[in-house]
Amino acid sequence: AQRVTQPEKLLSVFKGAPVELKCNYSYSGSPELFWYVQYSRQRLQLLLRHISRESIKGFTADLNKGETSFHLKKPFAQEEDSAMYYCALSGGGSYIPTFGRGTSLIVHP
């Protein structure tokens, strides 16, 4: 079975501070991992995928198979980063991701 854990329901930081949203997963094979973001009054959208190894809006996420983690990081948070963030995992030939419960990020001015 595959499982995604986002241990923090809420993360509150000040503008300019580093931010790390944690994601841990449980899966025996090779996972595909994603971060999705939902800004206020906007639809849920894909932020980044681990296979792309990309940086989007200053965010990066590295897959650590040893620690089974895929934490989302940004060195300097901005107010516009305030949103709900979901980590998701697909594996085993399934196209259906399992989502974590989400972390609400609030960036204070």
Partner 1 sequence: DGGITQSPKYLFRKEGQNVTLSCEQNLNHDAMYWYRQDPGQGLRLIYYSQIVNDFQKGDIAEGYSVSREKKESFPLTVTSAQKNPTAFYLCASMNVDRGRGYTFGSGTRLTVV
Residue 99 engages partner 1 in binding (rule: CB under 8 A): yes
Q: Stretches 19-27, 39-47, 62-70, 75-83: which one binds partner 1 (CB under 8 A)?
A: 39-47
Contact criterion met (CB below 8 Å) for 29 and 91? yes
Residue 100 engages partner 1 in binding (rule: CB under 8 A): yes
- Kindly state the DSSP code that residue 97 receives in the 8-state scheme: P
Distance separating alpha carbons of residues 77 and 30, to the nearest angstrom: 31
Rg of the chain over CA atoms, in angstroms? 13
Distance separating alpha carbons of residues 53 and 40, to the nearest angstrom: 26
Residue 32 engages partner 1 in binding (rule: CB under 8 A): yes
Residue 5 engages partner 1 in binding (rule: CB under 8 A): no
Q: Stretches 14-22, 56-64, 66-74, 96-104: which one binds partner 1 (CB under 8 A)?
A: 96-104
Using the structure block, give the residue that is written with the tokens 């809006």: 57
Using the structure block, give the residue that is written with the tokens 């609030």: 106
Subset of 45-84 contacting partner 1 (CB under 8 A): 45-46, 49, 51-52
Q: Which is nearer to partner 1, 15 or 104 (CB)?
A: 104
Q: Is the dihedral of CA 107, 33, 1, 64 positive or negative?
A: negative
Site residues (vs partner 1, CB under 8 A): 9, 32, 34, 36, 43-46, 49, 51-52, 86, 90, 95-97, 99-102
